[in-house]
Structures are given as C-alpha cells and as structure tokens.
Amino acid sequence: MTLPVDAPDPALLDDLVAANRILYSEGVVDGFGHVSARHDKEPGRFLLARSMAPGLVTGDDILTFDLDSNAVDAGSRALYLERFIHSEIYKARPDVAAIVHSHSPSVIPFGATAVALRPIYHMSGFLGAGAPVFEIRDAGGDDTDMLIRSPALGAALARRLGGAAVALLRGHGNVVVAPSLRLAVFRAIYTEINARLEAEALLLGQGRVTFLNEKEAAAAAAANSPQVGRAWELWKHKAMGGSR
C-alpha cells in the first residue's frame, strides 16, 4: 500500500498509542484526558485520538487535525470537546511537539489553592520556570462548564501557559507540553509525582521546604531529557502488557 506523502512516521503513531496507554497505566489519566503529537512532516497538523478513554486507544483510533481543530479523517467518529487545547497551543508555541491534558489527581489541589507547584526534586526540574494557574473565570466568566470547548478559550489558556512546560486549570486539571512526545509523557508523570511529594513535604516541614533553585532546576531538566528513553521502555513494557 502506498502511503500518502503526508503520512506521519509510523513510529510516531506507535508512540502515540503507547503514550495513551502509559498515561493510564501510570495514573495520570483515567477515563478522561488526552495526549497529542504534532505531525512530524506537517507542523500545521497534529495527531489525537477520537473521543474515547486513553487506556483503550489503538492505532485505528488516531485522527489527524489541522490547527483549527478540524479533523481531516474523522468520518462519523466523535471528537474530544476540548481539542482546542491542542490546536491553540500548537499555534502559539512552535517549539511544542506534544501536549498532554489530564485531570492528574495530585495536581488538582494546586489548581484550587494559592500554593505554587514547584520542583521538589531533580526529576521535575522542568517545573523551575513556574506552572501558571489558568482561571477560566477570567476568560469565560463565572458560569462556564469549565471545559476548553472553543478556540477563544484555548487561546486564552495558551496565553496563560506562556513559555512554561505546565499550566494548571483551576477546578479542572492541567496541561503539559514538551518538544517531544516521550518528554511530554515524562513531564506529565513527574508533574503528578511532584505534586504529591510537594504537598507531603509542605505538611511535614510546616511550610518550610527547600526547593530546587532556578539554576538547579534548569540544569536538572537538561540532564534528564536525554534519559527519558530509560523510563519509556519500562512504562511501555508495563502498559502494553509485557510480562515483567
């Protein structure tokens, strides 16, 4: 079979299926949440599953979208209501190659309080640039259904994210971006773990905690990026049902 000229790299598709399964297996997503990858050959497109639980996604469920969140090949399949999270961030951030949106549980309390998410250990150095909180009331008023269900809300979220790796959505969840799909998954997982450990440390230390400073955070993030494959192999092995 001849692939169309703009078909994405099959390895990227495989990784996107694995990313869906891994995020469920590691407790970042449950029946909801989604992960996308920018098309490797056409930067004005991105890949995202049809509306379904990430833990059940297969290759046949991956659709292609343009940056207005129109699906090129959906047919009658339902689309995620919040696909505008992806399209608007891809528009605003040319450096971003992958996006995870989740209701990652330990992060929810940080979105609902004034406590900042900060890097408590080197695995989450990517949080050193800060994790802004998006208050949907600022962009959509006080009677939304909390969902990023329009280009305008997606654009407002992208503005709040700015150049950061992570943004928290008050009363909803979070968004994690990265220059590669595997790194986005890595960051989503360690955002969840960092939130849990930071909350525990703040209780243990009665508010007095030593976080990574900006230089440590940046250097740790740079050191970890090339090591992502080591964790990916394990996560994939576990998520895709290999015997351990």
Q: Could you give the CA distance from residue 46 to residue 39 in angstroms, rounded to a whole number? A: 5
CB of 124 vs a second copy, minimal distance in Å? 10
Q: Could you give the CA distance from residue 219 to residue 4 in angstroms, rounded to a whole number? A: 41
Site for a second copy in 168-187 (CB under 8 A): 170-173
Nearest CB to a second copy, comparing residues 152 and 204: 204
- Concerning whether 82 is annotated as a catalytic residue, the answer is yes
Nearest CB to a second copy, comparing residues 56 and 72: 56
Residue listed under structure tokens 């900060």: 118
Question: CB-based contacts of 135: which residues, under 8 Å, 6+ apart?
Answer: 170
Site for a second copy in 127-146 (CB under 8 A): 142-146
Q: Could you give the CA distance from residue 197 to residue 210 in angstroms, rounded to a whole number? A: 12
Nearest CB to a second copy, comparing residues 97 and 120: 120
Q: Could you give the CA distance from residue 217 to residue 110 in angstroms, rounded to a whole number? A: 19
Task: Considering the candidates 82, 88, 192, 198, report the single residue annotated as catalytic.
Answer: 82
Site for a second copy in 185-204 (CB under 8 A): 193, 196-197, 199-204
Residue listed under structure tokens 């399209």: 87
Q: Could you give the CA distance from residue 168 to residue 131 in angstroms, rounded to a whole number? A: 7
Q: Where are the beta strands (DSSP E) in 195-236?
A: none
Nearest CB to a second copy, comparing residues 72 and 223: 223
Does 152 bind a second copy (CB under 8 A)? Our answer is: no
CB of 9 vs a second copy, minimal distance in Å? 24
Does 210 bind a second copy (CB under 8 A)? Our answer is: yes
Does 234 bind a second copy (CB under 8 A)? Our answer is: yes
Does 159 bind a second copy (CB under 8 A)? Our answer is: no
Nearest CB to a second copy, comparing residues 53 and 92: 53
Residue listed under structure tokens 């990517």: 126
Q: Where are the beta strands (DSSP E) in the chain?
A: 34-38, 45-49, 62-66, 98-102, 133-134, 166-169, 173-178
Mark 97-126 with x for binding to a second copy (rule: CB under 8 A) and - for no binding: ------x-xx-xxxxxxxx---xxxxx-x-
Site for a second copy in 73-92 (CB under 8 A): 81
Site for a second copy in 3-32 (CB under 8 A): 21, 24-25, 30-32
DSSP alpha helices (H): ranges in 134-180?
136-140, 151-161
Q: How do 98-102 and 166-169 pair as beta strands?
A: unpaired
Query: 6, 9, 138, 233: which one contacts a second copy (CB under 8 A)?
Result: 233
CB of 159 vs a second copy, minimal distance in Å? 20
Beta bridge partners of 138: none
Catalytic residues: 82
